[in-house]
Chains A and B, each alone.
Chain A
Amino acid sequence: MTHSRRSFLAAASGLLGTALLGTSGCGRGGYLTPEGTISLWYWNRSISDTLLGKVKDEIGIDLVPQKIGGDYKQKLLTSLAGKAYVPDIAGLNEDIATYFPDADQFIDLYELGAKELEPLYLDWKWQRGVTPEGKMIGFPMDTGPTALYYRPDIFEQAGLPTEPDEVAAALDTWEAYLEAGSALVEALPGVKMIPNIGMVYGQAVAQQATRYLDEEDNFIGDGPQIRRPWELAVEAHQRKIAANALDWTPDWGAGMTRGTIASFVGAVWMAQVLEEAAADTSGKWRVCRAPGGAGNSGGSFLGITKYCRDPEKAYKVITWIQSPENQLVYGLNEMQLYPAAAAALEDPRAQKKEEFFGGQIINEVFATSAKQVKPVYLSPYDNVVGAAFSDELANVWSLGKDPDRAWEDALREVDRQLSHLGLI
């Protein structure tokens, strides 16, 4: 009996011991990578792996890139919250403003000399990485200028213009676009002009010069820059020109493939999404200036965290990886990441005919859009406040909620959220 008990205890402690092994002599502190190296967290397909492989040879820095899968933000927040194993360089997404209240976690890139590079990049994009206090926490990576994607063959059947210039001229405002939508739906039963009305709201908001909060965190989202897109979306709903197919769903892909959705306004990166979702429609699409003008949706940044042991080196890495030349060659031409550097947009190497778009040089459209995007202040709380509006808009089209009541409810919800945040 005692024998068997001892053997159990031995087995148990043996197993635990094995599991615990390797913890001793673990004195490397809270750093991701050894002294002398620079660590970088990024998403798959957000930086060319070929380019990352060249860092050592080209600028002589030991860069350790780590591709982070899954919920990137959760991982970054957890390491920042735990104050351990934070990367030297971190990719920051479109929601970079949510890090503004904690700008002290990042190194001010202006202090490392970023000012001299500022003229090389699109101003509106650059400003999105700078806090209201003038601290630069994110260096521009890619952008997402928007345009109208449409099917000329379907437009023709509906008696609408077909050439990009004509379409852009005829559908220059959202009102004209929605009007044309009604004409199209009337001429072609079973075909819709747009995938969903959330697109109208989101893309019209993306064209504005102000958004939900100003730089002093005052709520301004009841102004025309939000009210007008809201009304446009409601109008689109009332005109019944939307297919109610949400982005990234099979309905969306099927609508694009089968030609039951004639157009949508989207960022430049939607071209890849469209090409994969509707490969059979190659050659049938065109792109032109979006109704309402230029806008931006998506795009990311690189920041240096305060835990970085050698900010100068990290800065060298960032500026090299995101140099205008590399944004063109390894960003746009290898990865289809749209450059933030103005020179890259104009470069002859960027002017390629796209087979999917019937040989159109779509870059011309997006480059024009990219240069015309209005600078806008994005606040740290835009995602909280914006959700109140988009949730209520979803109620309008999915539940048939009265639009005026939905607007009132959205404002009431915003009030609640802002008081919760301690902003009012």
Chain B
Amino acid sequence: MTMTPVAAPPAARPGAAVHAAAGRKRKEYLSLYLAISPFYILFAIFGVFPILFSIYLSFHNWDGIGEMRFVGFAQYTFMLSDPIFWKSILNTFEIWIISTIPMLAIALVLAFMLNQQIRGKSAYRIAYFVPNVTSIVAVAIIFGSIFSNQFGLINWLLQTVGLGTVEWLTTPWGIKVAIAAMVIWRWMGYNALIYLAGLQAIPTELYEAARVDGASWVQVFFRITIPMLRPIILFTVITSTIGGMQLFTEPQVLLGNSGGPGNEGQTMVLYLYQQAFSLNQFGYGAAIGWALFVIMIVFSFINWRLVMGSETRGLRRGVRA
């Protein structure tokens, strides 16, 4: 890839050095392009064709085996009139909100606590990591038991303290809370570990300086930890957004391909999967996939702006202070 640098270097240089600098620059660009090339090469081989194929597919009717039949935009117009499609979007967002926000908040506090000078650190860390490796089959059985309508652990607890029981796996909000609980449980420790890795990069002098100044726990958390961790927070917000929008495993193992009674646990990807592989509607599945892609791009962009926007504000505040 040969490219002439478009943007001139900020400082003007005397004539003779320009050529040498430009040569060096070109050489450096080459290294940089080489460094990032593996991703794009593999994407060109393994990623581009599936994308083109599924775009093509979304304009056809295909049962996965026989002839494809061109239907124009029919899959998309059907989708817009499909109440279960809209319901799956709503479900996905509802579950995302009640799972991601508490999960990231708890993870952040958890990471902060685990970064303190406390005894038994490594034991805690391994314990918080365990949900991420526990077999999903075991998790499904256990969460099924915990949230059972009549004999579940949670309903037993609720009854013991004198509250009424909730039909978790058969009512609209019960289903969503159960899925969200499973998401939080599986991914909280994981996010805490990412934060923890980020916390390790914050120079200890910052904390020492704050300690010398007599700053409180809360002040340290909000004035050092959060601002220094912002790039990592952005990462977790974006990946949780994508992961939440692509939520699939948890509702599937808990409720099956249709998402439980009233499709209340049907998420966008689960619906896509059900259409393609359980109902043989590959064309429709592809159309749902592309709608999901657009929704994710927009939503990720919004979240990016939210996190980065507050960063610029935070910096400005920092300058003023």
Contacts and interface: CB of A to CB of B under 8 A. Distances in A.
B149 A102 contact: no
Contacts of A12: 38
Interface string B55-99: 000000101111001010010001001110000000000000000
Contact of A384 (B64, B172, B263, B279): B279
B261 A254 contact: no
A102 B261 contact: no
Given A73-B277, A81-B64, A101-B63, A250 B82 contact: no
A416 interface: yes
B64 A77 contact: yes
A413 B82 CA distance: 9
A99 interface: yes
Contacts of B263: 391
Contacts, number: 90
A413 B149 CA distance: 29
Contacts of B167: 244, 398
A102 B278 contact: no
B131 interface: no
Contacts of B149: 244-245, 251
Interface residues of A, number: 39
Contacts of A250: 144-145, 148, 151-152
A14 to B, nearest CB: 14
A414 B266 CA distance: 19
Contact of B63 (A71, A102, A249, A413): A102
Interface string B265-286: 0000000000001111110100
B100 interface: no
Contacts of B172: 399
A150 to B, nearest CB: 20
A180 B69 CA distance: 52
A261 to B, nearest CB: 10
Interface in B1-46: 31, 38
Interface of B: 31, 38, 61, 63-66, 69, 71, 74, 78, 81-83, 144-145, 148-152, 167, 169-172, 258, 261-263, 277-282, 284
Interface of A: 5, 12, 71, 73-74, 77-78, 80-81, 98-99, 101-102, 104-105, 243-246, 249-251, 254-255, 260, 383-384, 387, 391, 394-395, 397-399, 413, 416, 420-422
